[in-house]
Structure 1
Amino acid sequence: MGYKQELKRNFRAIEIFGFAFSIMGLMPSIATTLDFALLAGPAGMVWAWFVASGCIFVVGLAMADLGSAFPTSGALLAMASNGRWQPSKNVLYVVFLLCALSHGALASTSSKFMGRLLYLFIFLNMALIFATVVALPLGRAGKRNDAVFIFANVDNLTKWPTGWAFMLAWLSPIWTIGSFDTCVSFPAEIPAALPIFLGLGTHKSSVD
């Protein structure tokens, strides 16, 4: 882009994947948005995930290509408990303070250390996904729904038309998967890593 490279590139491709993967937080994000996913019934949830994920993947391809072609840095708390418990203002402030202090401490470390820490985040996310994928079939053994119910049973749990309820079901995958774009905020660390994951190859730029 016509300027001299200044930043040290300490992140590896797998570490950038870990960053995006951790930001998405698949299981917590899916759990907290499940009520939106079910607005059009089981079929609405399943097909909304398929369609929205396909659209998001296209966006990811475009962002990966742009992140490689123009590598530059500086781009771009809710709780539920069935209504039986509400956090006080003091509790919310303490949680906010702890988050701010811990994030500040992590942000003050070197990017190399932060990159290595992402391996732990990848492991924790994968362990949570694996535990959920294993626990759900075991817990529902003998009580599983058939394919017709899953793929063809459309409900409408809203006061809107059924087609709009299906569109609202997109909110779950969009919220869950949509945060992958945060790693494009510092592509100068790894100008070629994102396209490598998606098989796009790389671009030559003046900062390489």
Structure 2
Amino acid sequence: MGEELRLYSYWRSSAAYRVRIGLNLKGLAYEIAPVHLLRDGGEQHSESYRQANPQGLVPVLQHGQRVFRQSLAILEYIDEIWPTPALLPATARERQRVRALAQLIACDVHPLNNLRVMRYFDHTWHVPQSERDEWTRHWIVDGFTAFEAMLVDHPSTGTFCDGNLPTLADCCLVPQIYNARRFGVDLAAFPNIVRIEQACLDLPAFDAARPERQPDAPAT
């Protein structure tokens, strides 16, 4: 599998952030192809980018001549192609738990506060910024409350969401915590989430994936 990897990414996209973490955990070299989600109405809406992803979303992973979409599907793809270190545990029961935690974030929390939702609230319904921010905080807190409950006193919870190695769940959780901090969510009620975040960010793979470390991040 010596074909080059190119990740179409935006520095502050949670979904792209997940995939950057996964690629880094695998120790894979990849090129970042920045897609600015705000410039000129959003480069993701251009005809050329829509050919790569008809949804007009990031990330997209190009592996050789093949193109892959949807962050969780991309993460499972790279886990199957490069199985070590694994992003999913060894048993079906443990894999189900990790997928459930990952999907809680990726399917139930993140879609409610991503850019296209906020722009629709702004441009179509003219919802004030303060109300949009409160919407975002509400759904993050709602999701984190459930996520924390799934971690507390569970025998599979370890240094990370599941055991003592990072998994798909951690790849999804850390970017959502970044969003939570960005919107001023009080994380005091989520000690396990905060503890796991710190354990993740202590690892070079997570640290290198941080939004502010991306080549398309603003200088300030």
Larger radius of gyration: 1
> What TM-score results when the alignment is normalised by the length of structure 1?
0.27
> What TM-score results when the alignment is normalised by the length of structure 2?
0.26
Structure having the larger proportion of residues in strand: 2
Structure with more contact order per residue of length (Cα contacts < 8 Å, sep ≥ 6): 1
Structure having the larger proportion of residues in helix: 1
